[in-house]
Amino acid sequence: MTPEVRSAYAGRKLASKVAELGAAVAVGLSFLPLVAIFTYVVRHGAPSIGENWAGMANAILGTIEVVVLASAMAVPLGVAAGLFLAEYARARLARLVRFATDVLAGVPSILVGVAVYAIVVVRMKQLSAFAGACSLAIVMLPLIVRTTDSLSRAVPESLREAALALGAPRWRTALFVVLPTASPGIRTGCMLAVARACGETAPLLFTAYATTLQVQIFTNTATPSPNGHAQAWAAALVLVAIVVLLNLVARRLTRIT
């Protein structure tokens, strides 16, 4: 190496080190809000969780009710649609539905609330757990369809061919070969969708008003009273615990299998 080349290389090596440091700093900065939120939620939520338990138990039950109802609607429909897309759909229909799924995933959830209000609430003339569940189901659907679709397509073609060669019809191949092979990942996807639904607030605001944990946090944030704030922190602690737990369990599931 001539001295010029060596010094140029030293400069580039230094630039590389600086860039690596910069990336690490970015990672550090991105954790700052995570740490801040966890600390505040635990510090403010934990002391007041006991005294607010009575009011919160109701809201927790409300959240569970709405989310379970929503999952009962979204999971079968979503898995069926995803499996159909991966196994059966002709290219053009599949492309169209995939496109619609992606777009639906990007629609702000508050608009889903508006639409469900227009269809369900106006017709039933009242806010209800069912209406809330409908809107959460619509939020969950694209996530479930997308995971089922992509994981089913990732199942090796040779497995399908082996089943078909043994004389299995396509529906048995799809249900008893493809689906079980892809199911650990699909389970994870569904749990992540459930976790997402637990945190969704906007579509519940005018469909299932004030009966769930999420909406309780929002209404209590808006009140000026310290009591309300304490209640909001306690509810936030419970909600974050639920969501983080679901996320951890979901990810643990795939790692084992």
Partner 1 sequence: MNLPDRAFVGTGRFSAIVLASILVGVAACVTRIAWPSIVEGGVSFFTGATWSPDHRVYGALALVWGTFVTSVIALALSLPIGLGVAVFLSDLGPASLRRPVSSLVELLAAIPSVVYGLWAALVLAPVLQARLEPGGPPLGLALLCASLVLAIMVLPTIAAVARDVLVAVPADLREGALALGATRWDVVRLVVVPHARRGLYGAILLGFGRAVGETMAVAAVAPGLTMSSVIANEWPIARSESHVSALAEVGLLLFAVTVAFNVAARFLVAPRATA
Residues 67-126 that bind partner 1 (CB under 8 A): 77-78, 80-81, 83-85, 87-89, 93, 95-112, 114-115, 118-119
- Does 198 sit near partner 1 (CB under 8 A)? yes
The runs of H, that is alpha helices, within 117-156 are 122-124, 129-154
CB 169 within 8 A of CB 160: no
Cβ distance to partner 1 smaller for residue 84 or 130:
84
| Structure-token pair, residue 12 | 């580039």
Report helix angle 213-222 to 226-256, nearest 10: 150
| Structure-token pair, residue 207 | 């469909």
Kindly write out the interface string for residues 157-176 of this chain, putting x where it contacts partner 1 by CB under 8 A and - elsewhere: ------------xxx--xx-
- Does 20 sit near partner 1 (CB under 8 A)? yes
Give the H or E element holding residue 2: none
Whole-number minimum distance, CB 218 to partner 1, in Å? 5
Residue from 164, 229, 253, 254 binding partner 1 (CB under 8 A): 229
Report the site for partner 1 in 32-61 (rule: CB under 8 A).
33-34, 36-37, 40-41
> Angle at CA 69, nearest 5°, toward 64 and 72?
125
Residue from 6, 12, 55, 176 binding partner 1 (CB under 8 A): 12
Kindly write out the interface string for residues 236-255 of this chain, putting x where it contacts partner 1 by CB under 8 A and - elsewhere: x--xx--xx--x---x----
Within 81-125, strands assigned E span: none
- Does 26 sit near partner 1 (CB under 8 A)? yes
- C-alpha 201/C-alpha 213 separation (Å) is 9
Stretch binding partner 1 (CB under 8 A), from 24-32, 49-57, 64-72, 155-163 = 24-32
Residue 188, classed as helix, strand or coil, is helix
